[in-house]
Homo-oligomer: A and B are copies of this chain.
Amino acid sequence: MEAPSAFVDRLRPAGGKRSSKRDLIVNVFLRQEGHLSADDLVDVLRREGHKSSRATVYRTLQWMADAGIARKVDFGDGRTRFEHSYRHPRHFHLICKGCNRSSEFLSSDVEALIEEIADVRGFAIGQSVVQIYGRCDECRTGRRRAAGEVPVERLFARDALRIAIQTERSGLDFYSRAARITKDARGRRVFRKLAAEEQEHLGKLEARYAELLAEDPELESRPTFLFFKGAASGLFAAGAEELDKGADDRQALRIGIRCERGSHRFFKRYGERFEDSEGKRIFLEFADEEREHLELLIREYRSLAARQSRARSKAKARAHRADT
């Protein structure tokens, strides 16, 4: 788990001079949750007994944004706010016009659509902003929610693990079914092997999930942060359904390839964005595993296709000999 100071050092641009004032401002900033305006940060500094001129705070904030330590956010109220990126992945915002608070979410599906749209328009994406303005649950119902803040990093890890577990479960189910219906002995062996791997990995993920909840009991009840329909509605689950409708060996492999490809993409994308090193490792390992599965399935598909084509030409040759 990377420390804040290491995080800053990693991003600090080379050649610059250190200064105790800047270090101080950066450290105070990194300790804050949520979105701060320059003035908010000056106030926090004052409250902690440090005096800094506004200009320096503005300059430091700009420096942090350039370095990637902070991100600008603009909620359209005339002042620029900043959030730090230490253990805090890029995300989208729900902004309540009642209480002026904002809550964060991520949606793999929205991101995928945005990428697709940009692609069709020949647009190279830098960064995208999704802001949903409205009234939050609390403001509408008057009910108070659990007040304790859970760092976004944990919510991210929680949801990512939930999705991974769901994916493994339905992957396991998919490969078991596929093994059952596959006629080709070699293909069957491949599916069995993949099922076994999913089973083993599932155990690991569940252990990690239990550990995460043990660290913070509040975590389980927090609302969803990471939305991913591809997993929720079930990439593999949809695949399994297709199998049930009667697929032959080749189709089964093809469906498996599609599922693994989607799953690999998802875990790669979010693994890369993960700040917590434990979760990041798990995710990238998962992505790698899925890629291996994917490659195995593709090899197997090619092999099966080749064998079938050989079988066909042999049959044709036989038929031809019979003709003449």
Q: Are A121 and B109 in contact (CB under 8 A)?
A: no
Interface residues in chain A, defined as those with a beta carbon under 8 Å from any beta carbon in chain B: 72, 74, 76, 94, 96-97, 103, 105, 107, 109-110, 113-114, 116-118, 120-137, 140-141, 223-224, 227, 229, 245-246
Q: Are B130 and A135 in contact (CB under 8 A)?
A: no
Contact residues of A: prevailing secondary structure:
mixed
Beta-carbon nearest neighbor of A74 in chain B:
B76
Task: Determine how many copies of this chain the complex contains.
Answer: 2
Given the interface pairs A103-B121, A223-B121, the reply to whether A129 lies near B129 with Cβ below 8 Å is: yes
Given the interface pairs A110-B113, A113-B113, A120-B224, the reply to whether A133 lies near B127 with Cβ below 8 Å is: yes
Q: Are A129 and B137 in contact (CB under 8 A)?
A: no
Beta-carbon nearest neighbor of A132 in chain B:
B128
Interfacial chain B residues near A105, Cβ < 8 Å: 117, 121
Given the interface pairs A110-B114, A246-B245, the reply to whether A132 lies near B140 with Cβ below 8 Å is: no
Per the bound structure, the CA–CA distance linking A231 and B229 in Å amounts to 18
Interfacial chain B residues near A118, Cβ < 8 Å: 94, 132, 134
Q: Are B137 and A117 in contact (CB under 8 A)?
A: no
Q: Are A117 and B227 in contact (CB under 8 A)?
A: yes
Per the bound structure, the CA–CA distance linking A281 and B125 in Å amounts to 36
Min Cβ gap A247→B in Å is: 10
Q: Are B103 and A124 in contact (CB under 8 A)?
A: no
Per the bound structure, the CA–CA distance linking A82 and B55 in Å amounts to 31
Interfacial chain B residues near A117, Cβ < 8 Å: 94, 105, 107, 110, 132, 227
Q: Are B131 and A128 in contact (CB under 8 A)?
A: yes
